[in-house]
Every structure is written in structure tokens, then in C-alpha cells.
A and B are shown apart, each in its own frame.
Chain A
Amino acid sequence: MILHQVEALAAAGVTDIVLAVNYRPDVMVAHLKKYEEQYNVKITFSVENEPLGTAGPLKLAEEILGKDDTPFFVLNSDVVCDYPFQQLANFHKSHNDEGTIVVTKVEEPSKYGVVVHKPSHPSKIDRFVEKPVEFVGNRINAGIYILNPSILKRIELRPTSIEQETFPAMVRDDQLHSFDLEGFWMDVGQPKDFLSGTCLFLSSLTKKGSKLLTPATEAFVHGGNVMIDPSAKIGSNCRIGPNVTIGPNVVIGDGVRIQRSVVLEGSRIKDHAWIKSTIVGWHGTVGKWARLENVTVMGDDVTIADEVYVNGGSILPHKTIKANIDVPAIIM
């Protein structure tokens, strides 16, 4: 997921990327370092020893972000969209103020924090209203910003929120603008949203005619939006798609049906299994004639026995499931 962001940033001319992490940094480092060369960017890891909120990590990385006076992008990693970095940078340069936040239109603004503009200005932000009861606008913070290094002076090195402290201060000084996002946007922090986000992302790749997608001329591809790693093996008489990604070294048996799912690296799906709206974790095994659906999430190295049905199970790593899970449950 984060790789899509790295790729889009590199394409927009970004040369330094700071990843602010506090969870399993070793895993992240091992995974991402190899891409530095491929995309010709320098990736630095800024590890928080204690969680610093959404603004604190920026202060922590002040040395890199503030090394010259060119603006920097800030991205929440669990946001998936058509990243508009180039247009965003151009727009930011044109207004000469300290910051620009990307906003997206939503149908139900009452669930989010809504951005309200100044009546006299098309982009300048007047205030934020958290979970509004009455309609005040339908644009919300999309979790992507471009900011001038000068804003680092506004942040103290302590747990602090960019949305609740830094941005309101910038609004008071008339320094914050919004930029409308075209196309899809999705916060994929939850597995359910992760699957929806994958669907949106794959659709957008299809629209762009991306070469990453498996061509629909393959007999097993059904309904398009299918991305299969070249190292994965697919059996005969399978029907895969729409909206499926299959990771490296995955082995899929005969007569397997997969739709709206993500199958991660090294997993094995045995013959005649049926999988929908499911995340098959790394090195997982799904038995013959098993049926997984309704946002089933398999952790690392989970095994589902032959003929077992799982309805919305969140299964923790290294478990073996031998009996049906009829109603959504967390399996410890």
C-alpha cells in the first residue's frame, strides 16, 4: 500500500521520503529499503519511541523536512486515492501561503470533520467542524497535505495533533488552503475499508490501462480488476475476479473461485475453494472446498481446513481452523 505512495511521490519529483513509524519498524525497513534504488529516492525512518500523535513526528523529522525552504508532502499511510501530487504542488505554489490540505467530497459529512471555507475565497479555509449536526459543507480532510517548512515552528516536540492544534492555528493566521481531490478516496484503516480501497485502486488502474493488471484475455480472469504477481501459480478451471490481488509465490489450485479479495505472499489456496471479501494473510492455507466470505481476515500463517466455512472471521496468526465459523467472530 505504502509503495503506491512512494511511487506516486517519486513520480512528482520528491527525492527525500521520511517514514514516521512506531510499529514493527524492522519489518518496514526490510520491506522498503530495496525500493530506494528502484524509485531513486532516499527513504529515512523516523522511529517514535512513544506515540507522538499526528503532528509530533513532523517535528521529530525537522532536520530533513527543514533542510531547505521547499515545501513537503504529508500523507496518512492508510489513505488510498489517485494521488494528485503534481497538481497539488502547483496549486500550493500559486497561493504563497503556508499550507494546503487535500479535501474530498463525501455523502455523509456528519461522520467526519468538515472543512468550511471563507465565504469570499474559493480555497481559503475558515474553520473545521467536527462531526457536524447541521450541514455546513461536504468537503472533508483527505489526510494528504503540502506544507512549508515554516510550519514546523508551530509544532512542539510532544504528542500533538496536526488536525486539532496545528491546522486551527494556521487557519487563524489565514495560512491554510484546500485542494479538491478528483476521483476516488478511501481511508483503509479497517479491513473492510482495505478491501473497498483495493477495489477502488484496481478500478483506477484499469481506467489508466495499467500494465500491472493481469490481462482479461487470461481464461481465468473474470470481470477484470485482477492483479496477479508473475511468480504466482494458478490452477486450471479457476475463476478469479473482479477486484482481486494475488501476491508473490502464491499457489492456487484447480477450480478455485476468488472475488473481491487480497491474497498475500506465499499463501496456498487448494482446489475448489471459494473466497469472497477476504484477506488471506501471508503464508496462509485455505483447504479444498472451503468457503470464506464477509470480511474474513486471516493473520500470518493461518490454516483453514478442507470444507470449512468462515463468515467474517478475524483469525489471529498461526491458528488452524477446523470447524465452521457461522457468525462473525475474532478467533484468538
Chain B
Amino acid sequence: MATKAVILVGGSQRGTRFRPLSLDLPKPLFEVAGHPIIWHCLAALTKIEVKEVLVIGYYDEYIFRDFIRDSSKEFPQFTIKYLREYEPLGTAGGLYHFRDNILKGAPKRFFVLNADVCCSFPLKEMLQLSDDREADAVILGTRVSNEAASSFGCIVSDPATKRVLHYVEKPESHISNLINCGVYLFDTSVISRINRARVIKTERKQTDPLYDPSDDTGSADVLRLEQDILGALADDKSFYVYETRDFWRQIKTAGSAVPANALYLQKAHQSASEDLAAASLNIIPPVYIHPTAKVDPTAKLGPNVSIGPRAIIGPGARVKESIVLEDAEIKHDACVLYSIVGWNAKIGAWARVEGTPISVTQHSTTVLKNGVKVQSVTILAKDCIVQDEIRVQNCVCLPYKELKRDVSNEVIM
């Protein structure tokens, strides 16, 4: 049975929390574990039978051109097409706007993947659940701590049948600790459900005395899956949840790229991927090293480290739980822990660039230090320079800055 997939990538007005890393590159193209975030979605789609992948967003077309060209070669089993929204339509609005592209070829079902999640994408299992229950919609869910739950979409389900009884986005009170992972499998009939919701919303705007037009920021066609559709789907009694026990993480802030990198590397390591560097005295797996990077044999890397193209790691350097991007250089005897080293950034000899480790169960990327919230991960944006012997801890450093003194718990403008 033909299945399509939609990957929602958003637009440049979005992803502001991913700054400073999204200043030069759209977030979906940021590389974790050696590949762009969106590549991991495509790789997951190769495990099931998909003929066409539609990437929907409101970035300019040229931004994804190279990526789509390269991926089409790498994944010949499906065609990949970028569909551009000319204004932000919301996650459901975009699906409705491009309904003809989705419905073309009369697929029965289609997947919708948010590009900003990092998980094992158990798509086969979702298809199975959909078949078993003849579901109109299947949502991927995961359990989080009660404290974390209210920052996500919360799902109440029937424990026996897995049917979704209730859905609410970011509730003020505690509803459930089963949350929306941002991955869906819809029957194509959902398109008409979106249309109904659109009509109802337009009518409500005209009749509801509580409706305040100044609340409405976008176009009249803005419809969001989470706020406008999922709650209504629960009422239709054919909406099910597949609960994953595998890893899941949102990639919102720039700092969240570090846990995402770690999780994808561990996944690759478990599946014995040839992408990864072989373990040795100075390589603690998993570690990804781009073939064009130069790593001195006396440097010690890992675990959970990605080294980008043409990056240089000097003698006796130490890199752990970090991402080192294209053309970056880490000089001899420097130490980089829980950090992101930006494109073409330079770290001097004996410098120490350091973030704070956070627990695997924590979904936030901030830590409290002396009562102040700071980023757990240290981020050096593009072209930053850290001089020899300087220490940088829990800082976010904007592009082109040169650090000549020790800094901690700061955003360096």
C-alpha cells in the first residue's frame, strides 16, 4: 500500500531558539552525528515503503536545493520534493495548502515528521498499530517526568486499546505524562478533517464574542495540528498512540544539539554503523570523524563526539560530548567538554571550553548556577577565537568574537 511522508521544516522566522547556530544555516541542515538533522528523518523513512517525501517549509527553495540533490542520490528509493509556503500557514495549514501534492497518486496514508525531533522513528510499529486498529490517525508518544510534561502536548490514552481519549497542547495543569513526539501517521481522510477545522475556525472568528482579532498574528489560513486538529481527532474515536520506549528529544535550543548528537551516535554505534571511527586507546566510542578532518593520533576523543569536514584536532587535545563543526581548529593540549565548536572557530593551546553535563532524563538545556539559569552547553558560533590557555564555561558566544580572558555563565555579544 502506497505511503507518502511529509517532513515539516518550518522557516527562517522560526528556529530563533537555535541561535546562534541558526544565524548562518537553517536548523534542519545543522549536522548532528555527521549528518543534517533532516537526514536522520530520511534515513528512518528508508526502513519502510515510501515512494515520495515532501519537505514543507517557508525557507527559500535554494536553501534545500543541494541537500535534496545529494539525498536523492543517497536515497534512490523515494523522490524528494521541497514545497515552499509563501507565508507561515501552521503545521496543519501547510498540509492543507499542499493537499493536492499529498493526495496525488492516491496514497492511503501519509507520515508527518517534524524535522526538529531526534528519535529512533519507530515508523514500522506505527504502521502496524494503524493496521491493527484501522486507525485514522496514529501519534508517536513518549513518557516524560511529570514536571517536564506541561511543556509539551499531553495525551490521555486508554491503556488497553491505546486509543487517544484526550489531547491538550502545553496544559497549565497536569493532565498526563505521555507526550506528543511530533511524528504522525494519518489516513488521507484527515485532509478533509483539517478543512472542517478550518471552516469552523473561520466561523468562530465571526461569531465568538470571546475572539480577539489582535490575538491572531498570522494569516486566516493558519492552522496548527497541535492546537486546532489533534484535540478534535480524539473526539472522532479513531486516533491511537504508539508509545515509544526508545530515546526521544526535541531539538529546539542550540544546546539540545549536543544530546541529539549523542543519541544518534549511540544509535549508529548499536547498529555497528561503518560511519563511526573505530575504538582505540584514544577513541572512546561513539565518535564520528569526517573523512577530511585531521585528528592527531595523540588527541583523545569521545564518547559522543562528532568532528566535521576539514576540522583540525591538535596533539594531546581532548574532546568529549561535543560537536566540532566544519573548518574548526582545536590546538594542542586544549580540552573541549559538552560544547559546540562553530564553523571555522579556533581554540588555542591549553584552552578549556566547557559546558555542564545534564542528565539523560532532562529535557531542558539550562542549568541553575548561583541561582541563575544558564545554558548547560557552551556554544562558540562561527569564526570565534579562544586564545591560548583561556577558559570558557557555560557561555554562548556570538559569531566573530575573540575571547582573550576567562569567561563563565555569559552570553558574549
Interface residues of A (CB under 8 A from B): 237, 239, 254-255, 257, 271-272, 274, 288-289, 291, 293, 307, 309, 326-327
Contacts and interface: CB of A to CB of B under 8 A. Distances in A.
Interface string B311-351: 00001111010000000000011010100000000000110
A326 B389 CA distance: 17
A68 B158 CA distance: 103
9 contacts: A237-B333, A257-B333, A257-B350, A272-B350, A274-B389, A288-B300, A289-B352, A291-B335, A309-B354
Given A307-B337, A309-B393, 18 more contacts: A237-B316, A237-B332, A254-B298, A255-B316, A257-B350, A257-B389, A272-B317, A272-B350, A274-B350, A274-B389, A288-B300, A288-B318, A291-B335, A307-B320, A307-B335, A309-B391, A326-B369, A326-B393
A272 B393 contact: no
Contact of A326 (B337, B350, B408): B408
B148 to A, nearest CB: 25
Contacts of B300: 288
A238 to B, nearest CB: 9
Nearest to B406: A293
A14 B273 CA distance: 77
A271 B298 CA distance: 11
Contacts of A237: 315-316, 332-333
Nearest to A274: B350
A254 B296 CA distance: 15
Contacts of B349: 257
Contact of A307 (B315, B318, B333, B369): B318
Contact size range, B: 20 to 34
A307 B393 CA distance: 13
Contacts of A309: 352, 354, 391, 393
Interface in B13-70: none
Contacts of B333: 237, 255, 257, 272, 274, 289
A321 to B, nearest CB: 16
Contacts of B352: 274, 289, 291, 309
A254 B370 CA distance: 36
Residue among A257, A271, A289, A307 facing the most chain B CB atoms (10 A cut-off): A289
A271 B317 CA distance: 10
Interface string B287-323: 0000000000010100000000000000111101000
A255 B352 CA distance: 14
B303 to A, nearest CB: 13
A291 B337 contact: no
A291 B316 contact: no
B387 to A, nearest CB: 13
The 4 A-B pairs of least Cβ separation, nearest first, read A255-B316, A255-B333, A289-B335, A289-B318
A79 B352 CA distance: 36
Contacts of B316: 237, 254-255, 271-272
B408 A272 contact: no
B286 to A, nearest CB: 19
B315 A255 contact: yes
Interface string B373-412: 0000000000000000101010000000000000010000
Contacts of B393: 309, 326
Nearest to B320: A307
A271 B350 CA distance: 11
Contacts of A289: 318, 333, 335, 352
A271 B408 CA distance: 25
Nearest to A306: B318
A291 B318 CA distance: 13
Residue among B316, B318, B320 facing the most chain A CB atoms (10 A cut-off): B316
A272 B389 contact: no
A259 to B, nearest CB: 9
A254 to B, nearest CB: 7
Interface string B127-152: 00000000000000000000000000
A272 B354 CA distance: 16
A288 B337 CA distance: 13
A307 B284 CA distance: 15
